[in-house]
């Protein structure tokens, strides 16, 4: 690693981090629009191919906070290199997968790459001048949302022009290069929390999260009363209670629950959960709405994967642009009004998607509103969490924020699937009223997020830039 005596310029570090974060965001969303094509190419069925998404979701959810915790303890740049390397390896295995079993295993490996998000935030806090921290975190956060949107846009042309394997070869090449760049250029972490990772709290955390996510994913597919689903959800509750009990008594907790109770942290996490409900479900179901054949159902545009992606392009552009302008807005007005307005704009966008989707331009406008709001919210949330916790807990705190957003996405997608597929109409397709109800549910979740955002505590400009406000009493020290 580069010696801490000669630090890489922070702009170079940011470029490396942005490539890694963007690659992970693309990997998250590239496969969703083309699952039927993957099913056809690998000769599997619709039930099994859904595990291509579920396996990745579970793996990323478990490893995102774990990577953040490991980075805090052993060095963020070291764990970043491993996370990017495993993301590249998983992409290569997926590209070469001869069957769906290998593909699912590859997606589990790719999910480890979720650690790049909290590690990037921690490195930014370590390496950047204080006035630059908030803006860099805002931009990197919005890049996550924009990358997810761009993934749905480029998936169709990539599959049509190059074949579905390039959904994995491209991320493999980019993340492999990013791993090498991180190894050569990102300086060693100056802030660490030495100590072992506690085994029992970590296993209990992974256990309840895995049971919950698989239970939710299966519930929307096989029914909420199925014995497997009920058993998984009960196991999730039992393991969650056990995790909380053990975590509160551990000499070295995996996740300090006192940290999670800080006002800025719990409000940001709850908003992230509710925004995740809207974001992931809209990414999954908006293309389905646009691709529906109107000659059969009376609604939809009969769009191809590529065409539906282009109609969603305003969302990705809006998210990216807000990543550039949110930091200056936050410095002027503070994060709370930006988050509240962002939640309201996203709620309006999803509500409009459900109620007014008769012309392509209407869909494009609704998509743009949603993306602008999404970018504003995510650009602020990470800065709030990072500013609220001690430097040595940056990785695990931001990892949990990203993880809670993913859990919200699983819940939102499951509820949306239940609503949309609850009543089928002509041609075995969902009724238009089901899509309306589903998008209104997502809109309502984001309206609740706006109400929660009103509880976000006021933070000074200096706090958001990584320093302590001299007029504010310091928070009590948290357990290492």
The number of beta carbons lying within 10 Å of the beta carbon of residue 361 is: 9
Residues 229 and 369 in one domain: no
The DSSP secondary-structure symbol of 43 reads T
- Mean pLDDT across the chain, nearest whole number? 81
Alpha helices in 292-359 (DSSP H): 294-297, 305-311, 313-333, 335-355
- Residues 98, 242 share a domain: no
In a domain, 451, yes or no: yes
Residues 181 and 290 in one domain: yes
Query: Is residue 14 included in any domain, yes or no?
Result: yes
Query: How many whole angstroms separate alpha carbon 389 and alpha carbon 391?
Result: 6
Residue 433 lies in a domain: yes
DSSP reduced 3-state for 450: helix
Same domain, 426 and 280: yes
| CATH for 133 | 1.20.1250.20
Q: What is the pLDDT of residue 53?
A: 80
With cut-offs at 50, 70 and 90, classify the pLDDT of residue 6.
low
Do 108 and 233 lie in one domain? The reply is: no
Q: Are residues 347 and 446 in the same domain?
A: yes
Is the domain of 331 the same as that of 301?
yes
What does pTM read for this prediction? Answer: 0.81
Q: What is the mean pLDDT of residues 56-64?
A: 84
Looking at the structure, do residues 408 and 340 belong to the same domain, yes or no?
yes
Domain match, 335 and 232 both = no
Tens-place pLDDT, residues 406-447: 888 888 888 888 888 777 666 677 888 889 999 999 999 999
For residues 260 and 235, is the Cβ–Cβ distance under 8 A? no
- From CA 337, how far away is CA 459, in angstroms rounded? 12
pLDDT at 369 over 90: yes
Distance CA 96, CA 98 (A): 6
Beta bridge partners of 424: 430
In a domain, 364, yes or no: yes
Task: Judge if 326 and 310 occupy the same domain.
Answer: yes
Phi-psi region of 303 (alpha: psi -120 to 50; beta: other; left: phi over 0): beta
Confidence (pLDDT) at 1: 39
In a domain? residue 477 = no
Model confidence at 4: pLDDT above 90: no
**304 and 325 inside one domain:** yes
Q: How many CA atoms lie within 13 A of 42 on its CB side?
A: 26
**Angle between the N-to-C axes of helices 51-74 and 199-222, in degrees from 0 to 180, rounded to the nearest 10:** 160
**Residue 66 within a domain:** yes
* Angstrom distance (rounded) from CA 385 to CA 321: 22
How many whole angstroms separate alpha carbon 153 and alpha carbon 310?
A: 6
- The answer to whether the beta carbons of residues 74 and 192 sit under 8 Å apart is yes
3-state secondary structure of 424: strand
193 falls within a domain: no
| Domains of the chain: total | 2
As a whole number of Å, the end-to-end CA separation of the chain is 26
Q: Which domain holds residue 239?
A: 207-253
Q: Are residues 269 and 167 in the same domain?
A: yes
Is residue 480 assigned to a domain? no
């Amino acid at each position: 690693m580069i010696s801490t005596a000669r630090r890489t310029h922070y702009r170079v570090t940011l470029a490396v981090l942005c490539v890694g974060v963007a690659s992970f965001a693309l990997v998250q969303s590239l496969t969703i629009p083309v699952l039927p094509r993957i099913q056809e190419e690998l000769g599997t069925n619709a039930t099994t191919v859904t595990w291509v998404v579920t396996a990745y979701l579970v793996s990323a959810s478990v490893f995102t906070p774990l990577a953040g915790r490991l980075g805090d303890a052993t060095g963020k740049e070291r764990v970043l290199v491993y996370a990017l390397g495993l993301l590249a390896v998983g992409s290569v295995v997926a590209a070469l997968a001869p069957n769906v079993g290998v593909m699912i295993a590859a997606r589990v490996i790719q999910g480890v790459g979720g650690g790049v998000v909290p590690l990037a935030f921690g490195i930014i806090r370590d390496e950047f001048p204080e006035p630059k921290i908030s803006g860099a975190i805002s931009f990197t956060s919005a890049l996550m949302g924009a990358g997810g949107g761009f993934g749905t846009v480029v998936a169709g042309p990539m599959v049509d022009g190059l074949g579905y394997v390039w959904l994995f070869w491209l991320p493999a090449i980019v993340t492999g290069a990013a791993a090498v760049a991180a190894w050569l250029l990102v300086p060693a972490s100056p802030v660490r929390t030495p100590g072992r990772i506690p085994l029992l709290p970590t296993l209990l955390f992974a256990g309840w999260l895995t049971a919950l996510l698989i239970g939710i994913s299966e519930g929307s597919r096989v029914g909420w009363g199925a014995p497997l689903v009920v058993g998984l959800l009960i196991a999730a509750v039992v393991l969650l209670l056990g995790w909380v009990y053990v975590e509160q008594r551990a000499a070295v907790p995996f996740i300090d629950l006192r940290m999670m109770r800080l006002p800025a942290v719990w409000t940001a996490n709850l908003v992230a959960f509710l925004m995740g409900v809207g974001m992931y479900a809209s990414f999954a179901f908006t293309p389905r709405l646009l691709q529906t054949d109107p000659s059969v159902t009376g609604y939809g545009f009969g769009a191809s994967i590529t065409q539906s992606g282009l109609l969603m392009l305003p969302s990705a552009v809006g998210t990216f642009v807000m990543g550039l302008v949110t930091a200056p807005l936050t410095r002027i007005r503070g994060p709370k009004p930006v988050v509240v307005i962002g939640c309201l704009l996203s709620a309006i966008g999803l509500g409009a998607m459900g109620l007014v989707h008769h012309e392509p331009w209407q869909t494009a406008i609704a998509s743009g509103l949603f993306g602008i709001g999404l970018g504003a919210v995510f650009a602020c949330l990470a800065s709030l969490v990072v500013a609220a916790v001690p430097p040595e807990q940056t990785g695990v705190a931001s990892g949990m924020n990203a993880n809670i957003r993913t859990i919200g996405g699983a819940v939102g997608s499951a509820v949306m699937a239940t609503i949309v597929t609850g009543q089928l109409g002509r041609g075995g397709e969902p009724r238009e009223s089901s899509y309306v109800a589903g998008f209104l549910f997502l809109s309502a979740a984001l309206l609740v997020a706006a109400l929660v955002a009103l509880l976000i505590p006021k933070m000074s400009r200096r706090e958001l830039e990584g320093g302590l406000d001299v007029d504010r009493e310091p928070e009590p020290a948290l357990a290492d």
